[in-house]
Amino acid sequence: MKILAVDDDPIILELLEQFMLSVGQHDLTTAQSGAEALDIIDAEAGETYDCFLFDIQMPSMDGTELTKAVRATPEHVDTPILMLTAMSDKGYIDEAFAAGATDYVTKPFEVFELKARIGLVEGLAIARRKDAKKIFDTFESKFAPLNGDPINTLDLHQPISIYDVENVIDHMAMENYVAQLSRGALFGSSTFAFNIRNVVTLHGKLTPFEFYSLISDVSEVVSDELKGRQFLMSYAGGGTFVCVSENGWKPDAHQLMDSVNLRLAHTELFNNAGQRLDIRVSVGDVIRLIWKSGASAVNAVAHAHSSAESASDAHEKSMYDFWLQEKYA
């Protein structure tokens, strides 16, 4: 992998050089500031890095600002960014994830931990290239008629990266975020999920590009609805968006569902043939993450995910049952 590491401490950069030498197969470039890193990226326009390692706390431009700047370059909208942090302060980590970080490693790091993270990132970089190809290879088919024969190469259950929507992060980043935070750091956090009703039918009818656009539009609507709250959200696949809210805010699921659906109704979403899409979501259980950490926190997110799917199924079933009910005068 071609990696760019940025840290104001030359000792960290030398440590990383030694690490890369021992692991091999990686081409490491280093910079001591955010400005220097951006100059390097600019000078190599057209060339892409496979992975970035950014220190969070740096003078002038910190790692979070640098992440935002790098995410604004078309070549690196989804390049994995691993944050290096010596801080346990969750506020910095939350900001870094919201800015587009994929994962983080706590300093001082150890060789096996770093090796494992880089290995995960390498797998992610390969998967990203394939996913982007799937979506944009079929760009031409976006004008296919709704009832035509859309080429569905985008799997319904695969997580999709959403860009430029506030506080919406990659799903892998969300899993990394939840799995690594300590019990104390998750004290004021809750998790819940939204599921798009009838998503299987929608996925079957829409082209991959239309489906991708739908997911992106719904995430924007939800993000707008949650504006003013501290939260992170990701698209987990299967029409489900998972959220982690902070600062003790635990939403009322029904109220939230109604307000998101009202906003969706006002947004008026269409397919590429100009036909209106009637999109509604269901919200599942809202779960506090108090005293949960690691795997149990990830399980809580998984439960929020499945309960949102169940809520959608229950809603569809109730609609179906309504028509089967005996009618009385």
Partner 1 sequence: MKDMTDALPGLARVREKFLSLLEDRCGKIVEYTLAAWQATEDTEKRTHLTGAGTILHQIAGTAGSLGLQDLGEAAQSCEQAIIDFMDLPNAPPEMCSHIIMEINSFVTCCEDQLTRTGSD
Which residues touch 128 (CB under 8 Å, ≥6 apart)?
78, 79, 80, 161
Residues in 40-79 at the binding interface with partner 1, rule: CB under 8 A = 57, 59
CA dist 38 and 246 (Å) reads 32
Nearer to partner 1, 23 or 146 (CB): 23
> Which stretches of 118-216 are assigned E, i.e. beta strand?
190-196
State which residue, 19 or 187, has the beta carbon closest to partner 1.
19
CB of 59 to partner 1, least distance (A): 7
Contact status, residue 50 vs residue 25, Cβ threshold 8 Å: no
Q: Is 9 in the site for partner 1 (CB under 8 A)?
A: yes
User: Is there binding between residue 30 and partner 1 (CB under 8 A)?
Assistant: no
Residue 206 in contact with residue 214, Cβ under 8 Å? yes
Q: Is the dihedral of CA 264, 265, 266, 270 positive or negative?
A: positive
CB nearer to partner 1: give 46 or 108: 108
Q: Does 18 bind partner 1 (CB under 8 A)?
A: yes
Q: Is position 164 an interface residue for partner 1 (rule: CB under 8 A)?
A: no
What's the one-letter identity of residue 47? E
Instruction: Name residues contacting partner 1, limited to 72-101 (CB under 8 A).
Output: 84, 86, 89
Tokens of 309: 């799917």
Q: How many CB atoms lie within 10 A of CB 32?
A: 16
Interface with partner 1, residue 12, by CB under 8 A: yes
Residues binding partner 1: what is the number (CB under 8 A)?
Answer: 22
| Residue number, 115 or 250, with CB nearest to partner 1 | 115
Options 110, 140, 258, 268; binder of partner 1; rule CB under 8 A: 110
Does 182 sit near partner 1 (CB under 8 A)?
Answer: no
Minimum CB separation of residue 175 from partner 1 in Å reads: 24
Does 184 help bind partner 1 (rule: CB under 8 A)? no
Minimum distance from CB of 19 to partner 1 (Å)?
6
Query: Closest distance between partner 1 and the C-beta of residue 113, in Å?
Result: 8
Which of 24, 46, 74, 108 contacts partner 1 by CB under 8 A? Answer: 108
Query: Binding to partner 1 by residue 109, rule CB under 8 A?
Result: yes
25 binds partner 1 (CB under 8 A): no
Cβ-based neighbour number of residue 7 at 10 Å = 24
112 is a site residue for partner 1 (CB under 8 A): yes
Between CA 41 and CA 73 the distance in angstroms is: 9
Q: DSSP labels for 195-211?
A: EETTHHHHHHHS-HHHH
- Sheet with 27-31, strands from edge to edge, namely 27-31, 2-6, 51-55, 81-85, 103-106
Choose one: 103-111, 125-133, 240-248, 289-297; the region binding partner 1 (CB under 8 A).
103-111
Smallest distance from partner 1 to CB 105, Å: 11
CA-wise closest residue to 282 among 204, 218, 214: 218
CA–centroid distance for 190 within its chain? 17
3-state secondary structure of 259: helix
Residue 250 CB neighbour total at 10 angstroms: 14
Sites of contact with partner 1 (CB under 8 A): 8-12, 14-15, 18-19, 21-22, 57, 59, 84, 86, 89, 107-112
